[in-house]
Amino acid sequence: MAEEIQVEVAYALPHKQKIVAMTVDKGTTVYDAARQSGIDQTFPEIDWESCKFGVLGKAVAKPKERMLEQGERVEIYRPLIADPKEVRKKRAAQAKQKREAEH
């Protein structure tokens, strides 16, 4: 009999989130646990082949290879709507314009 471990799978939208606690066989990958969680029943928009994954806040480069350990939490990340660097640049430019307008 395969050894089992307890893990969680999490997904969040700005207004709705879900964490699924589950038992999986030791050796289960990040990707497989996410698929087994059934979280896509609540969030059908999850695109399994293009979404990014993390474990406890750290991105996982190869979710189909990375095996989970006892107590870990899989995080399914939504695609970014805007590039964070571009958002920062835009905000800095707006602040500069505001400062110049005040002087």
> Taking the model in full, what pTM does it have?
0.76
Closest CA to 33 of 58, 4, 8: 8
* Angle, CA of 21, 18 and 65, to the nearest 5°: 60
Query: How confident is the model at residue 88, as a pLDDT?
Result: 81
Distance CA 99, CA 64 (A): 49
Distance CA 75, CA 14 (A): 15
The pLDDT of residue 31 is above 80: yes
The pLDDT of residue 20 is above 80: yes
Closest CA to 73 of 14, 27, 17, 33: 33
- CATH of residue 23: 3.10.20.90
Query: How confident is the model at residue 83, as a pLDDT?
Result: 67
Domain encompassing residue 43 = 4-102
- Pull the structure tokens for residue 92: 């800095």
Query: How confident is the model at residue 4, as a pLDDT?
Result: 96
Separation in Å, CA 101 to CA 40, 72, 94: 49, 51, 11
Say how far residue 37 (Cα) sits from the centre of its chain: 14
| Number of structural domains found in the chain | 1
Distance CA 1, CA 100 (A): 70
